[in-house]
Structure 1
Amino acid sequence: MPASFQILPAANLVYVQYSGLMRVEDSLKAFGAYAAHPDARPGQRHLIDLSRITDMERDFAKIMQLQATKGADLAMREVETLMVYFANTAVSLKAAALAKNGWSASQGVIAIVQDTEETALAALGLAAASFDALLEEALRRTS
C-alpha cells in the first residue's frame, strides 16, 4: 500500500509511511481511514516517513485541496498537532517541504522536517533508537 498508518496509543503517535509514487488519492484514503479509526485522538503527534517514496504527484491544485481537507478536520479539534516529516532523499525532501508549507498555525498544526530518524524521534520526544525499534516496542505492548 503506498500510504499506510499505525496508531501507537502508548506513544500518543500516528506513524504514517509512504512508498513508491506519492499520490493525493492515497493520502486522502489514508487520512480518512485514520480519522475514522477508533484510536484516533485529538492532539496525537504524527510521524510521516517519506523515505521510501520514489516520486510524487505534481498536481499542485490537488495537493492544496488535500491540505485543506486535512486542515479543516484538524482545526476542528482545538488542539495543536505536531507533524514531523522524515525525509532523507531529494524527492522526499521536496514532498516534505510542500507538505510542511501547506500548513498554517491557524490550522493548529506545527510541522517540521527532519532528515535523520534520530532527529525525527527526538523532535517528538521519543527515546527509541529507530523507527523499527519504535514499532517493535509498540507491537510488544499490544501482544
Structure 2
Amino acid sequence: MPVEFTIFPRRGLVVVRFFGFVAIDDILEATRAYISHPDYVAGQKQLVDMAGVSGFENDPVRFMQMQAGKAKRLAASGLQSIVVYIAPTEISRECSAMFVRSWKKLETVVPLVQDTEAQALALMGQPEESIAELMNASAE
C-alpha cells in the first residue's frame, strides 16, 4: 500500500509516509487502520512525509468527502492536532496543498508544509533531523 504509518505513543506522534501513486482508497484504508490501532489517540501530532509521492488520484469531490469524514471525527474529539507535511517536490507540494486546503476552515487541525524532514521535525518539537533518525531513536 502506498501509505504507511508508525505511531510513537510516548511522543504523541504518528509518522505517515506516502509513496508511489496514491489513491483515495489507499488513504481511506490507512486511516481506518490508524484509528483502529491500539496506540491511536485523538489529537496525536502527525508528521506526513510526501517526498515519495509520484502521483495521486485527483478527484476533488471524493477527496473532500473523505476529508469531511475525518473532520467530523476530529471535531468530535474537541482536540487540536498539528499536521506537518514534508513536501520537497512539485508533485508532493500539489498533493500536500490538497490536504491543507481541506483543513482551512477547521480550528481542530493546524496544517503546515515544510521542504525538509529537519524543518518538519523541528516544528514538531523533535530533536532528530531525519525520519530515519527518529525511527532509530524510538526503537531503542
TM-score range, shorter chain: over 0.9
Find the counterpart in structure 1 of residue 26 from structure 2: 26
The equivalent residue for 1:42 is 42
Q: Which amino acid aligns with 1:75?
A: A
Aligned length: 140
Match for 2:60: what amino acid?
Answer: F
| C-alpha spacing 1:98/1:32, structure 2 compared with 1 (3 Å) | same
- Number of the residue aligned with 1:16: 16
Q: Is the 8 A contact 1:114 1:120 kept in 2?
A: yes
Q: TM-score, normalization: structure 2?
A: 0.96
Pairwise CA RMSD: 1.1
The answer (yes or no) to whether the contact 1:51–1:89 under 8 Å persists in 2 is yes
Segment of structure 1 superposing worse, 101-110 or 66-75: 101-110
Q: What SS does the aligned partner of 1:119 have? A: helix
- The runs of 5 or more residues in structure 1 that have no matched partner are none
Give 1:66 deviation, angstroms.
Answer: 1.4
Residue of structure 1 equivalent to 2:124: 124
Equivalents in 2 of 1:27, 1:59: separation in Å?
A: 13
CA displacement at 1:104 relative to structure 2:
3.4
Partner of 1:32, secondary structure, is: helix
| Secondary structure of 2:103's aligned partner | coil
Unmatched segments (≥5 aa) in structure 2: none
In the other structure, the counterpart of 2:114 is 114
TM-score between both structures, scaled by the size of structure 1: 0.94
Residues 15/110 of structure 1: CA separation in 2 closer, same or farther (3 Å cut) = same
Give the distance between the partners of 1:107 and 1:51, measured in 2 at CA: 26
SS at match of 1:102: helix
| Equivalence for 1:56 | 56
